[in-house]
Structure 1
Amino acid sequence: MADTLEPAQALALWHRAVVDSVRREGPDLSARQMALLLCVYLEEPPHTVRGLAERLNVSKPAITRAVDRLSALGLAKRKPDEADRRNVFIQRTVKGSVFLREFADLVVAASRTEG
C-alpha cells in the first residue's frame, strides 16, 4: 500500500476492518462508543465525562450513555475521584485493551488486502 492513502482507499480500508469486526464474535460498538474508547486508550489520562464530552464535542449525557455501554461490556470502567466526588474517571480495562488490539490487527490485515 502507498505511504499516502487517497480518500477512497482510506474508506475501503475502514470498510474492510469494520466488516471484519462485525463478523467476529464480540461487541458491536457505535461510532461514538468507539471514539470514546479510543480516546481513553490512546490519549493520556485522566479521563472524565466532562473532559471526554469536550474532546468529542458531544453532551455529557451522551458520554454517560456511551460509558454505560462500555462499562457493561467490560471495555472501560468508572472510578470515583477521591479528591472531588463530583468527578468520575473513565479508565482502561484489560478486556478493552484486548478488544482494541484485536481491532488494530483487523485494520492492519485490511491494509494488506488488495482491493
Structure 2
Amino acid sequence: MPVELTASQALGLWHQVSLEQVKAGDVDLTMRQVAILLHIYLVPPPHTVRGLAATLGVTKPVITRALNTMGEMGIVDRVRDDRDRRNVIIKRTLTGALYLEKFGDLIIDQGRQLS
C-alpha cells in the first residue's frame, strides 16, 4: 500500500529520523555514505567502486574515500575480484546489515508518529 505524504510531512519525517539517529549516538554517515550503503544492501550484487561511482555520478576517488571511512566503521568490506584483480568488490557485513535494519525500524517508528 503506497504511503501518501505531503512534502512537509516527508521533510518532517526525515527531520525526526535524523534527530533520533544523532541522539542515539550511532554511526554518523554523510548523505553520500547513506546512498552508497543503501545501494549496496538494496540492489543485488556485485558492487564495484567503478559501478558505484557511475551510479552516484562521482569519481572513483570519491567512492574510495567514502568506503575507507565505512570500512573503518565495519559496515562494508572490500575484496579484490579474483577474476579481474583490477576490480574491487564491495561486500556487505553483518554490522552494516544490523545498522540498516535498526535504521529501517527507526523510520517505521517515526512514520507511525506522523500526524
Amino acid at match of 1:39: H
Amino acid at match of 2:74: G
Deviations 1:2-49 (CA, angstroms, capped at 9, x unpaired): 831111111111111111011113210000011000000000100000
Amino acid at match of 2:15: H
Partner of 1:12: 12
Partner of 2:69: 69
Aligned-pair RMSD on alpha carbons?
A: 1.2
Normalised by the length of structure 1, the TM-score is: 0.95
Determine helix, strand or coil for the equivalent of 1:90: strand
Aligned equivalents of 2:40, 2:16: Cα separation in 1 = 24
Partner of 1:60: 60
Partner of 1:24: 24
Partner of 1:34: 34
Determine helix, strand or coil for the equivalent of 1:62: helix
Aligned equivalents of 2:78, 2:55: Cα separation in 1 = 18
Determine helix, strand or coil for the equivalent of 1:70: helix
Runs of 4+ in 1 over 6 A off after TM superposition: none
Deviations 1:76-99 (CA, angstroms, capped at 9, x unpaired): 000110011100000100000000
Q: Structure 1: where are the runs of 5+ without partners?
A: none
Normalised by the length of structure 2, the TM-score is: 0.95
Aligned equivalents of 1:53, 1:19: Cα separation in 2 = 29
Partner of 1:87: 87
Q: Percent identity?
A: 45
Partner of 2:108: 108
Aligned equivalents of 1:70, 1:3: Cα separation in 2 = 31
Amino acid at match of 2:14: W
Q: Structure 2: where are the runs of 5+ without partners?
A: none
